[in-house]
């Protein structure tokens, strides 16, 4: 395979910031319901938080350790960090302009107001003063800074206030500065009664209440200034899996430290005094480049709760009821009987996740079921599936759960489920040292007519009922003996020792997936060179692995048509003459988070279609346990091509086309018939079709 030059790859971190620009564009789009625009603004802020916690933190750590290695695009960590800081500053400035100049005034026109303290009337002041003394002041612990009271430990992403003071305290000390930390138990936005606020929905930020009454915390002293600030910290967990004897215990010891990792970003109010700014930068060992002055609340993510507090359906996306395949619509439908009739495909969130829950609940209560095995990556703190596994173990069934303890930001929930499962006698394993278990697999073993039969569910997304309402994913039910044997083999690898055997249909990381994807791409190249038509369509969350990108470049040069639907970051440069003129890259940003991984290869009219848990990234190919599975049923294969690929290639409403420099341009339906993939799928698959 030809090795391509660094300039033929795009930078990962800058690509992630480009993705966030596309998310913020949703908040700007006046065609989208207003409260949903506010949500997109919050999602963009949340994305940036994680970007700093993980990606920026990683760059800073590399520089700190003296790393000189470069990424595939040829840039060093120092070069990347410089560009990332520039782009992040521009992005955050844009974010707050959007909030202050567009979203806030538009909400006010709809009777949803954020009441600023400079505009409170006497009645509002009295109500909020009472709220402060009753709900806020009792849980505050102001800390005056002096030799006996050093700067307190500040939690990651918490709301804090730096206070400048004048005068002497009760002990005669001439204290000039203090820190007030807002406890996490306090809501960040407070809804006032309509008769007090003067509008249907009047909200006050907790920061405004603290600003207005901070003097009550420092009796007899003069408050010269009160400034909100927020610190983002490195949230990477440092657990040496090769050294620890018990990964779960080590992780439990490491989790609390996540809140106090090295600081990577400081956000302060734009009116913060130079003295406080200098104090905070010194305290957190940051430079001016890491400082972000904001005009508004330092944590926009907290506004995500606003739409839930506002009963205005006209300002939200229309509700819908997810569809259920006709075979499963009858109440109490027997999942095992239905699967014996043929493979069943679910397309979430357009189709309900309930059959997956029914499958495992039926397995838990069925006396003929003898064993259940499942992988758990993200399932949430409250999960009907996990409760069903616990119930199955209590009934004496053999329950084996492969829990991924290092699922970022879900570690604590997964540890809790592991504890509960072990308490009832389930077998809990943590996969393979050095490889995250990211595969989505569920297998049930049932005794029928004296023989054991396997039933399997494979998915592109997590076993998480809540995200199944928001993420697009496919799930396949099958009792194909060969596919079930493959799944059983993967479970055996995860729980026991021994060499990996060759699988019938599944491609698996870290063994065969990368090689099989390369083989399939190269096969299209070979066919194109032989004068036949070559076509590749791939849909995923991210495309970064250099070997795959190089193979796609070679396919393009051979005349293969390559359509890539990549939601997030893509390091491949499309449309470069002589390199990638036959490659098109687009991103779909809509109501639902695009999460499906679909790989289509024309293969001389065989039309091979695979679904996977893996993106085309180094980590997915080489450092994770992933599975990629084919659609063997022709009707289901056609469904995936139509519902998962073709409709997205036609989209001219929510699609963004990428240019060779990594910039995106949103498609416009003005000169063509309007085509919106997600709306089309809602009409096709949900029980209550929506307008639009």
pLDDT band at 526 (very low <50, low <70, confident <90, very high): very high
Tally: H helices and E strands in the chain: 22, 27
Confidence at residue 257, expressed as pLDDT on a 0 to 100 scale: 52
| Contact status, residue 674 vs residue 653, Cβ threshold 8 Å | yes
Residue 690 has pLDDT above 50, yes or no: no
Report the sign of the C-alpha dihedral through residues 167, 173, 178, 182, in that order. negative
* Rounded CA separation 358/369 (Å): 14
In the chain, the percentage of residues whose pLDDT exceeds 70 is 93
Confidence at residue 255, expressed as pLDDT on a 0 to 100 scale: 45
In the chain, the percentage of residues whose pLDDT exceeds 90 is 76
| Burial classification of residue 269, based on how many CB atoms lie within 10 Å of its CB (0-12 exposed, 13-18 middle, 19 or more buried) | buried
Distances (CA, A) of 566 to 127, 542, 548, 599: 50, 6, 14, 12
* Rounded CA separation 162/149 (Å): 14
Confidence at residue 672, expressed as pLDDT on a 0 to 100 scale: 63
* Rounded CA separation 571/548 (Å): 11
| Contact status, residue 662 vs residue 14, Cβ threshold 8 Å | yes
Q: Which residue has the higher pLDDT, 670 or 109?
A: 109
CATH 3.30.870.10 maps onto the chain at 326-501, 508-685
| Burial classification of residue 38, based on how many CB atoms lie within 10 Å of its CB (0-12 exposed, 13-18 middle, 19 or more buried) | buried
Q: How many CB atoms lie within 10 A of CB 645?
A: 21
Joined together, the tokens standing for residue 460 give: 């592109």
pTM given for the model: 0.92
Query: Which phi and psi (to 5°) does residue 343 adopt?
Result: -60, 145
Confidence at residue 129, expressed as pLDDT on a 0 to 100 scale: 96
Residue 1 has pLDDT above 90, yes or no: no
Catalytic choice (438, 464, 514, 595): 438
Which has the closest alpha carbon to 139: 232, 217, 230?
217
Distance, CA of 285 to chain centre: 29
Confidence at residue 236, expressed as pLDDT on a 0 to 100 scale: 75
DSSP 270: T
Confidence at residue 687, expressed as pLDDT on a 0 to 100 scale: 86
Most confident of 143-147, 211-215, 474-478: 474-478
Query: Which phi and psi (to 5°) does residue 590 adopt?
Result: -145, -155
DSSP 319: P
In sequence order, the 6+-apart residues with CB closer than 8 A to the CB of 188 are 159, 182, 205, 206, 207, 297, 299, 302, 303, 305
* Rounded CA separation 336/340 (Å): 6
Confidence at residue 240, expressed as pLDDT on a 0 to 100 scale: 44
CATH 3.30.1840.10 maps onto the chain at 6-315
pLDDT 10s digits, 556-569: 999 999 999 999 99
Distances (CA, A) of 9 to 43, 67, 74, 392: 28, 21, 8, 49
DSSP 395: T
Minimum mean pLDDT range among 36-45, 163-172, 528-537: 163-172
**Mean pLDDT across the stretch 155-165?**
93
Residue 405 has pLDDT above 50, yes or no: yes
Catalytic annotation on 438? yes
DSSP string, 224-251: EEEEEEEEEE-------TTT-S-HHHHH
Please provide the average confidence, as pLDDT, over all residues in the chain: 91
| Contact status, residue 446 vs residue 417, Cβ threshold 8 Å | no
Q: For domain 326-501, is the CATH number 3.90.1150.10?
A: no
In sequence order, the 6+-apart residues with CB closer than 8 A to the CB of 642 are none
**Mean pLDDT across the stretch 431-451?**
91
Q: Which residue has the higher pLDDT, 167 or 97?
A: 97
Minimum mean pLDDT range among 182-191, 245-254, 471-480: 245-254
**Mean pLDDT across the stretch 342-354?**
97
**Mean pLDDT across the stretch 215-230?**
91
CATH homologous superfamily of 6-315 equals Polyphosphate kinase middle domain (3.30.1840.10)
Q: Which fold has domain 508-685?
A: Endonuclease; Chain A (3.30.870)
Residue 241 has pLDDT above 80, yes or no: no
Residue 250 has pLDDT above 60, yes or no: no
* Rounded CA separation 480/467 (Å): 28
Helix-helix angle 546-557:513-529, to 10 degrees: 10
**Mean pLDDT across the stretch 12-41?**
96
Instruction: Classify the phi-psi angles of 489: left when phi > 0, otherwise alpha if psi is within -120 to 50, otherwise beta.
Output: alpha
pLDDT 10s digits, 51-77: 999 999 999 999 988 877 788 999 999
pLDDT band at 631 (very low <50, low <70, confident <90, very high): very high
Residue 254 has pLDDT above 70, yes or no: no
Confidence at residue 499, expressed as pLDDT on a 0 to 100 scale: 78
């Amino acid at each position: 395979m030809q090795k391509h030059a660094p300039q033929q790859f795009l930078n990962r971190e800058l690509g992630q910031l480009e993705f966030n620009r596309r998310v913020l564009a949703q908040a700007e789009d006046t065609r989208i319901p207003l409260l949903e625009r506010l949500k997109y603004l919050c999602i963009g802020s949340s994305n940036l938080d994680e970007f700093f916690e993980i990606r920026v933190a990683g760059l800073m750590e590399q520089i700190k350790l003296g790393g000189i290695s470069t990424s595939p695009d040829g840039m060093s960590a120092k070069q990347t960090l410089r560009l990332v800081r520039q782009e992040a500053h521009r992005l955050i400035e844009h974010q707050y302009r959007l909030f202050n100049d567009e979203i806030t005034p538009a909400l006010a026109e709809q009777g949803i107001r954020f009441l600023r303290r400079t505009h409170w009337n006497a009645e509002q002041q009295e109500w909020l003063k009472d709220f402060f003394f009753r709900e806020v002041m009792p849980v505050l612990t102001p800390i005056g800074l002096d030799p006996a009271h050093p700067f307190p430990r500040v939690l990651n992403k918490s709301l804090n206030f730096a206070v400048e003071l004048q005068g002497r305290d009760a002990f005669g000390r001439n204290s000039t500065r203090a820190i007030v930390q807002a406890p996490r138990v306090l809501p960040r936005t407070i809804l006032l009664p309509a008769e007090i606020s003067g509008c249907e929905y009047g909200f006050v930020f907790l920061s405004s209440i603290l600003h207005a009454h901070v003097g009550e915390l420092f009796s007899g002293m003069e408050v010269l200034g009160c400034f909100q600030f927020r610190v983002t910290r490195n949230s990477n967990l440092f657990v040496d899996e090769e050294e620890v004897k018990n990964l779960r215990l080590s992780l439990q010891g490491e989790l609390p430290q996540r809140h106090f990792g090295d600081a990577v970003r400081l956000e302060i109010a734009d009116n913060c005094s130079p003295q406080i700014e200098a104090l905070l930068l010194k305290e957190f060992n940051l430079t001016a480049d890491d400082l972000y002055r904001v005009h508004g609340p330092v944590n926009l993510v907290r506004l995500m709760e606003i739409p839930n507090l506002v009963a205005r359906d006209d300002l939200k996306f229309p509700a819908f009821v997810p569809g259920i395949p006709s075979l499963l619509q009858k109440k109490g439908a027997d999942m095992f009987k239905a699967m014996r009739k043929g493979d069943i495909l679910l397309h979430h969130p357009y189709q309900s996740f309930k059959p997956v829950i029914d499958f495992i609940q039926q397995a838990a209560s069925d006396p003929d079921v003898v064993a259940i095995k499942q992988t758990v990556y993200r399932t949430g703190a409250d999960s009907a599936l996990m409760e069903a596994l616990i119930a199955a173990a209590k009934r004496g069934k053999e329950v084996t759960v492969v829990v991924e303890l290092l699922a970022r930001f879900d570690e604590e929930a997964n540890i809790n489920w592991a504890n509960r499962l072990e308490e009832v006698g389930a077998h809990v394993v943590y996969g393979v040292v050095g490889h995250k278990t990211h595969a989505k697999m569920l297998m049930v073993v049932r005794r029928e007519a004296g023989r054991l039969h396997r039933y399997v569910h494979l998915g592109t997304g997590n076993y998480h009922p809540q995200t199944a309402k928001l993420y697009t994913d496919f799930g396949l039910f099958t009792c194909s003996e060969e596919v079930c044997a493959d799944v059983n083999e993967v479970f055996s690898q995860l729980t026991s020792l021994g060499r990996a055997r060759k699988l019938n249909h599944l491609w698996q990381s870290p063994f065969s997936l990368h090689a099989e994807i390369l083989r399939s791409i190269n096969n299209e190249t070979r066919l194109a060179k032989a004068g036949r038509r070559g076509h590749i369509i791939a849909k995923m969350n991210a495309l970064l692995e250099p070997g795959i990108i190089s193979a796609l470049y070679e396919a393009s040069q051979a005349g293969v048509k390559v359509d890539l639907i990549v939601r997030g970051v893509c390091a491949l440069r499309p449309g470069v003459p002589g390199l990638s003129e036959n490659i098109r890259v687009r991103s779909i940003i809509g109501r639902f988070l695009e999460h499906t991984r679909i790989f289509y290869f024309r293969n001389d009219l065989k039309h091979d279609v695979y679904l996977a848990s893996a993106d085309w990234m180094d980590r997915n190919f080489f450092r994770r346990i992933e599975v990629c599975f084919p659609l063997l049923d022709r009707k289901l294969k056609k469904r995936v091509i139509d519902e998962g690929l073709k409709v997205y290639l036609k989209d001219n409403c929510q699609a963004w086309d990428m240019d060779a420099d990594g910039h995106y341009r949103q498609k416009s339906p003005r000169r063509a018939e309007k085509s919106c993939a997600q709306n089309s799928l809602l009409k096709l698959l949900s029980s209550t079709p929506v307008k639009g």
